[in-house]
Structure 1
Amino acid sequence: MTDTEQSERIRRSAAVARAHLQQLLSEARAGLDDPARLALLGALYDDKDADNSILGVLGDLFTATTAPFNDGSAALDDGSEFAVDALDIAASYVRDSAGSRVEQARAHFSAHGPAPST
């Protein structure tokens, strides 16, 4: 299989996304104050705006890769059906499981105010 312009665009976009996520990771590793922690958790997932959260977009990416199979425009063989199911489950885990846990943590930190200083 040869690379296409679309493949190259995807690789470039993924590299940009990775770089931005690395910036967030660097901020988190450097230590977060309470407002920054809430901002980061809200960016990762927010029940009120799940479609625009990082985890929401990641879940949508998994789902979008299976769209031709789910809408019937591509044929499913046994292997494809397994792969589509696996990606649909991954999308669900990212949005529902991981997202709800991030939301629970964000709600906790928001309700309990600043962390005690040591």
Structure 2
Amino acid sequence: MSPRIPLIFNSRSWNWAVFAVLSCSLFSGCALLPRPRGLARFPKGTPATKAKLEQVKPGMTVAQVEAIFGSPGHTSKGSSHDNPPFLSWTNEDLTAAIIMFENGRVTQRMNAGGLK
């Protein structure tokens, strides 16, 4: 009888860890790109802050989250416009608030890059 090896790759936490690493890699890679002179990297808008992120609670709808953040500097939506898997508000300094959704409701929030 061979020893049993735990299947860590099937756990939900493993998926979140991979997502976090990929998100950080994306934001770090964007910082290395040359910035065009005279142009802002992201449109002007209401910055993402730690205080706003802390107002977001599990179970909130997309509309409730968008009401908290207002007009974002940069928003990324997932594959489906009606039911996005995540929304992110990215500031010019590449800090970001990332909100994960399932069935149109908040499941998790992430502070990427150290929002203030």
> TM-score, length-normalised on structure 1?
0.30
- Pick 1 or 2: higher relative contact order, CA cutoff 8 A, min separation 6: 1
> TM-score, length-normalised on structure 2?
0.30
Structure richer in helix, relative to its length = 1
